[in-house]
Structure 1
């Protein structure tokens, strides 16, 4: 059903692109769903008709977070390069003749990686996801106007926090450190994301 809805967004006019955004709290399942939809669209319409573009590639580096005194708040809206992300979305809408290289986020390194992904000229549907695509804060409010549709990906808090706990332990934090970071950073970020739910076109719920 969701693959069919994504396919329906693919422009019928050659040379045009559609952008589908997915907002949601940390560990709601946005990246997993986005990748599945890209795979499903490509399986139906042909290779490289859809591409995945994560907002997380615009995390500020750990060096910049340390410089700004925001290392303990990593994941908050002001720990991303929102202007760079908005510029990329505009470029993806207007550029169809050459590949567009896209940064991605490496969870093992906890750092963004330049040109980790590529959007090829033939791509007709771009699926982008991140916490703050529906946000009304400075810079973020420009995102919605660049998207054809914006879905809110939801999951119960208990499910999200179990996923976050596993994620942070795999990333090198001890269990007490992971619980502390979830309480001090991830929960407030999730509350902010939830507050923007009404800015989305539909809600998609994921579960374990």
Structure 2
């Protein structure tokens, strides 16, 4: 499927002014979720207006490095327990119930700082389509406590299925860009990213649409 068709499909989900639809994009690490979500939002804003769509990354709810150290999860950063799932769930619920005049500020994850940062993104009162993305949006209860409740808040979920070899190359490049040497990058991808990916590929909640993209 080409990206233009996905933009058209997302536009078809966008309700009339005054409504709001929450679209989740799930997938294994390195699938291209954030790239697709950002493109959808950008294209919809161009065609439907600047407040038509907004980007809400699940990665903004990474636990800080200090909290990961406290919990013994530093070596499992990116796994389901390494996120503040309850904070993310509270944000999704807020996006459904926000007062008409209330803007909602959304955190992000900074790959230079290797930490979450507050209030990088904005959902305006006029936003009609919220595009959120993350590894575990389609995992349901298999992701652990809270993830089934996250799935229930989303009106639709697309699972971006990307070949493992493509994801592997992207993940290695990501870790190298983050400062790891080749051996350490390989160890991180094999010991952390790939197990996380196998979990999300193996457990897809009901009603999830599988999406594949044409090669660039």
Provide the residue aligned with 1:181 in structure 2.
188
Is residue 115 of structure 2 the alignment partner of residue 108 of structure 1?
no
Larger displacement relative to structure 2 (3-12 or 163-172): 3-12
Provide the residue aligned with 2:151 in structure 1.
144
Rounded to whole Å, the distance in 2 between the matches of 1:102 and 1:41 is 19
Is residue 195 of structure 2 the alignment partner of residue 192 of structure 1?
no
**Displacement, 1:47?**
1.0
**Displacement, 1:204?**
1.3
Is residue 56 of structure 2 the alignment partner of residue 53 of structure 1?
yes
- Report the aligned-residue RMSD: 1.1
Cα offsets for 1:141-195 (capped at 9, x unmatched)? 0012111110001111010010000000000111100000011101110000101
Is residue 29 of structure 2 the alignment partner of residue 26 of structure 1?
yes
For 1:85-104, list aligned pairs within 5 A.
Answer: 85-95=88-98, 96-104=100-108
Q: Alpha carbons of 1:124 and 1:77: their partners in 2 closer, same or farther (altered >3 Å)?
A: same
**Displacement, 1:198?**
5.1
Provide the residue aligned with 2:82 in structure 1.
79
Is the contact made by 1:19 and 1:127 (CA closer than 8 Å) also made in structure 2? Answer: yes
Cα offsets for 1:25-53 (capped at 9, x unmatched)? 00100000001110111111111210000
User: So what's the TM-score if we normalise by structure 1?
Assistant: 0.96
Is residue 7 of structure 2 the alignment partner of residue 10 of structure 1?
no
User: So what's the TM-score if we normalise by structure 2?
Assistant: 0.93
Cα offsets for 1:104-146 (capped at 9, x unmatched)? 0001111000111111111110000000001222100001211
Q: Secondary structure at the match of 1:26?
A: coil
Q: Secondary structure at the match of 1:16?
A: coil
Is the contact made by 2:60 and 2:109 (CA closer than 8 Å) also made in structure 1? Answer: yes
Q: Secondary structure at the match of 1:38?
A: helix
Rounded to whole Å, the distance in 2 between the matches of 1:52 and 1:85 is 14
The answer for unaligned runs of 5 or more in structure 2 is none
The answer for unaligned runs of 5 or more in structure 1 is none
Is the contact made by 1:18 and 1:125 (CA closer than 8 Å) also made in structure 2? Answer: yes
Is the contact made by 2:138 and 2:208 (CA closer than 8 Å) also made in structure 1? Answer: no
Is the contact made by 1:104 and 1:114 (CA closer than 8 Å) also made in structure 2? Answer: yes
Q: Secondary structure at the match of 2:86?
A: helix
